[in-house]
Amino acid sequence: MTFGGKVALITGASRGIGRAIATEFASKGADVVLIGRDRTALEETANACSDAQANANTHVIVADVTEEAAVEAAVTQAVERFGHVDFAIANAGQSIDALLVRMKLSVLDQMLSANLKSAFFLCAAVAKPMLRQRSGSIVLLSSVVALTGNPGQAAYVASKAGIIGLAKTLAKELGSRNIRVNAVAPGLIETAMTEHIPDAAREHLLKQTALGRPGKPEDVSGVVSFLCSDAAGYMTGQTLVIDGGVWM
């Protein structure tokens, strides 16, 4: 798979899975637009892209993807810079654990904004140039718990389940213009977001994992690049589970 001449836009590109996705696309020759809130971390991702592919063409945009106007401006800037956007990956997200009976409304609002609304805003913004060019691939980051449920994560799970419904609906809305929309549902992936999981909870999760180990960000990035490639040209509206064998 090579992506020479293609432009990939990734939200949440500062670290973890987002950084792995960015370097994956850069290594395959794509121009990469990196969106996040931490400029220093985004610059580190840009350097990682250069390490993956000499002279990688990267563009850093500092933006809060929970704000619709900021996402629209970022996509407009990307199109002005490169002329088109071929791939859009909605990776930005957060996780806050809370039992339903103790949950504050602010937690629900934050989970919906960070995980679902941010993806909705990105899809709406990139759909416009993709419709004009009559091509494109969008990949949304969900989670395996959107399929299984998980006690103590009602708001997070609901927001990630919404991602799957969004992908299916947009696949049907945009498919006639050769725009594909898919989702991926990672399991336990070693990132900054999961490093504070209590040891007992981590052990419980690993016991449910057929491969007996947590995933790496690169385990996700390879699947995302596959979904954007011609090899997946007849796939849309799908959710690929990357969990080491938890949900079967």
Q: Report the pLDDT value the prediction gives residue 201, as an integer from 0 to 100.
A: 74
Q: Give pTM, 2 decimals.
A: 0.96
Percent of all residues in the chain with a pLDDT value above 90, rounded to a whole number: 86
156 is catalytic: yes
Most confident of 94-108, 115-129, 196-210: 115-129
One of 88, 126, 156, 240 is an active-site residue; which one? 156
Direct distance between the N- and C-terminal alpha carbons of the chain, in angstroms, rounded to an integer:
28
Q: Report the pLDDT value the prediction gives residue 145, as an integer from 0 to 100.
A: 94
The one-letter code for the residue type at 103 is: M
SS3 labels along the chain: CCCCCCEEEEECCCCHHHHHHHHHHHHCCCEEEEEECCHHHHHHHHHHHHHHCCCCCEEEEECCCCCHHHHHHHHHHHHHHHCCCCEEEECCCCCCCECHHHCCHHHHHHHHHHHHHHHHHHHHHHHHHHHHHCCEEEEEECCCHHHHCCCCEHHHHHHHHHHHHHHHHHHHHHHHHCEEEEEEEECCECCCCCCCCCHHHHHHHHHCCCCCCCECHHHHHHHHHHHHCHHHCCCCCCEEEECCCCCC
The per-residue pLDDT for range 178-234, each reduced to its tens digit, is: 999 999 999 999 987 777 777 777 888 888 999 999 999 999 999 999 999 999 999
The domain limits of the chain are: 7-242
Is domain 7-242 classified as CATH 3.30.420.40?
no
Strand partners, 141: 184
Q: Report the pLDDT value the prediction gives residue 133, as an integer from 0 to 100.
A: 97
Are 123 and 173 in contact by the 8 Å Cβ rule? The answer is no
The per-residue pLDDT for range 148-187, each reduced to its tens digit, is: 998 999 999 999 999 999 999 999 999 999 999 999 999 9
